[in-house]
Every structure is written in structure tokens, then in C-alpha cells.
Amino acid sequence: MRLGIRVALWVVLPVLILATASDGAAQQDTTSTQKAPANAIPQALTGKERWDFYTNETFLSPGPYVVSFGAGLAFQAFNYPREWGGGLKGYARRTASQYGLVLSQNTIHDGGEAALGWEPRYFPCQCKGLWRRTGYALEMSFLTYDQNGHKRLDLPQLVGAYGSGVLSAYWYPKRYTPLVQGVQTGHMQFGFVLGTHLFQEFSPELKRTRPFRKLLNRGSAKTD
């Protein structure tokens, strides 16, 4: 689905451009509220902490709504899918569809991580340099930590991305099928995972870049 690839690239490329522009300043400040100590096992989340993490990233933080409204606007511009038409009604359906993807993806991902006892969070790299940090962000889109601090293939992440894509085919027009358009939507959802991890990795640089500074500082204050 070429349109899905375009939307995913719109998420990833601006982060890489901003990171490249400010990489020199990044060498002096790579702190993050969720950065794991070097060579240390991330402290396991309790059941309540897992629930709080899920509700925050799905319902309480602005991220899922920004993504839903933004992606809905992009699909509205391309009249995708065409059966939903234009105007406010078409835009509302597209935005609701995108939020449905976020909701189902987060539910599958966080639920799967909880069942396995694995880590649902992303921890920025304890390294310096644009390419090393970019490579780490991409790597940790496929991997996560288990309860012993070992890296594992992040099956809940993959199932969440592609499972939500397959589910979305059931509320799209009838010509959409789970094994074709559903999998294509899964590609797009995993692209958003990559973009989100790049954003989290380079958020210290973005904090110095207007207009993101105030928004990011406000968001980080809530997670201290």
C-alpha cells in the first residue's frame, strides 16, 4: 500500500532530519526519564505500573490523538478509502479508524508483554552518534527485554502491529481483505513503531527545537 508507506515516511523522515541537524549538541545531553542504566536490567513493572503505562499511552497522553487526527487528515487528502467520501463525516470515519488501530495495537502489544513478563517500554541508547543511536532504535523495534534482562524477539510488538492491521480490514469497506489490505496496514503500523522509537531516541534534541520544546518538556514532567 503505497499510501501507507508515504504516511509512515512522514513520521520517520522529519525525526531523522531534526536529529541530523542537532547531532552535535546531542553528544552533551542524552538523558531521558526512561533511560536504563548502562549494563543494567530494567526494573520490571508491577501489574499496576503496566496498567498505568497502557492507559497513559492509549487514552491519557496526546500522542494517540495527534497521530489519529494527523493520519486521518492525510487519508482524507488522498480520499482513502474512497467509499468513505469527503467532508466532516469522511474525516471523522478516517480519524476513528486510525484511533481504532492505535487502541487495538496497544492492547495486543501491552497485553502480550504482560503475559510474557516482558518489557513494553522503549529505553534510549546509552551511546552517542547519529547512526549508532538510529541503529539501536531500529533494533529495539524488533527486540525487547525479558524478565531476566535478556533481549528477545518482540513478538507482542509484531503481533500488535499486524494484528491491528488485520482487524482493521473488518471495519473497512467490503473490498478490503485481512490477508491483503490488512497485512499492508500492518506494514504501516510497524512503520509508526519505528518512527515512535526514533522520536523517543532523539527527544533530547527535539526539546531544543521549537515548536517541540514546550510540548516535550510538559510531557516529560508527567513521567518523572
Position 99 in a domain: yes
pLDDT at 100: 97
For residue 200 the three cell numbers come to 523517543
pLDDT at 214: 54
Residues of the chain predicted below pLDDT 50: 1, 5-6, 8-33, 35-39, 216, 219-224
- Cα–Cα distance for residue pair 63/112, rounded to 1 Å: 21
Position 69 in a domain: yes
The single-letter DSSP state of residue 180 is I
Position 130 in a domain: yes
Q: What is the DSSP string of 71-95?
A: HHHHHHHTTSSGGG-SHHHHHHHHH
Residue 61 forms beta bridges with which residues? none
Position 110 in a domain: yes
Range of the domain at 215: 2-21+41-222
Residues 6+ apart with CB under 8 A from 199: 11, 15, 206
Position 27 in a domain: no
pLDDT at 18: 38
Residue of 141, 139, 138, 148 whose CA lies nearest to 118: 148
Q: Would you say the pTM of this structure is higher than 0.95? A: no
